[in-house]
Structures are given as C-alpha cells and as structure tokens.
Amino acid sequence: MPIVKPLFTPPGALNKEDIMQEMRGTTILAVKDDKGVSVAGDGQVTLGQAIAIKHGARKVRRLYRDRIVCGFAGSTADAFTLFEKFEAKLEEFGGNLVRASVELAKDWRSDKYLRRLEAMLLVADAENILMLSGTGDVIEPDDGVAAIGSGGAYAMSAARALRRHTDLPAEDIVRKSMAIAAEICVYTNDHIIFETVTRKA
C-alpha cells in the first residue's frame, strides 16, 4: 500500500534520488493527530561530511500569522529564499496551505533561478502536512507522519511505530522520535526545536 499521495507532480519530473543526494545534514519531522500537527527540527549544521560547525541552528519556523510551520533540509541560504517565496504565496492565497504549496512548487520547478536551489521543505498547518521539492512535487503523507533530511527515515520509522502502538499525543511522538534519530544519524543532534499548530475547537 502506498504511503504517500502526490497532490501535484509535473510530467518529466527529475528522479528524487537526484535531489535527495543534497538533502543531508538535518532531520525535520511532522506528526498529525486529532488535536493538530507537531513539527520539530534539530540544530546541527555540518561542514562537509565531518565537521559540525553549529549546534543550535533554527530550521523550523512559523509563517503567516503563526498559523503555518515550515522546516527545511538542505542549503540554509536556499531555504531562506524559499521561505520568503512561500510566505509570499501564503499571503497571496490567504493562508491556504495546499494552494500556496502547489503554486510554489510550480514556480520552483519552472523558474531558472529557483530550480537551482538545493533544499526541501516540510510545511504544515493544523490539519495538513506537505513535503515540497524542487522537482515540483507536493506530497501529502497518508498516515499523518512525514520527515525530510538525513535522519528523516529514522525519525519517521520511530514515529510510525509509536503512533501505531501507543496512545501518545503527536508532540510526544515527535519528541521521542527526534531523540531516536539523533542517536543514529551523525548529521542530527539533540538540540531540537518544536512547534505545534493546534486545531481550533
């Protein structure tokens, strides 16, 4: 059974492996439950493959009146360019996460400058989690768990196991899963930033 469903994938998109080779050096995880979505990212910045030069970087931030959370993996400079573009799309479409994500993905793939940016975004509001890439993909996970970055597979595996076999809330699942990823991935540390978007009653 497939675990993700593409909301928008343009014809002739690049192989994901081509872009994922650049997506190392961090872990971003998002988990959804009936109360909202929790997102977390670690703080390590690695120079090359051997030297950790910063431990408290903030790779998760709130956008659009604090209603949207966005995390990135990849080049920091490129990610902040994408943050600005994404925030402009959110303003243009009144905070509609899905519409803004699809429009950013279209621009990201077609624009000569933007398509050179080496980053992936994981974005969420209180009801949706989406992964965006420079190949033009906008992917929504079927099970309410998504992750990007070098430690993403470890964090996602832990989150799925906890989600299926415990009654922990999303925030606790994210916290425990990020701790596990930090133990395994050499590009991920335990200086974790957490953000939670709560559904309105």
Instruction: For residue 9, count CB atoms less than 10 angstroms from its CB and return exposed for 0-12, middle for 13-18, buried for 19 or more.
Output: middle
DSSP designation for 34: T
SS3 category, 9: coil
* Length of the chain as a residue count: 201
Can 46 be counted among the known catalytic residues?
Answer: no
Contact between 58 and 79 (Cβ < 8 Å): no
DSSP designation for 45: E
- At a CB cut-off of 8 Å and minimum separation 6, what does 46 contact? 24, 25, 52, 53, 187
Alpha-carbon gap, residue 167 to 69, rounded angstroms: 24
Residue of 26, 27, 46, 196 marked active site: 26
List residues with catalytic annotation. 26
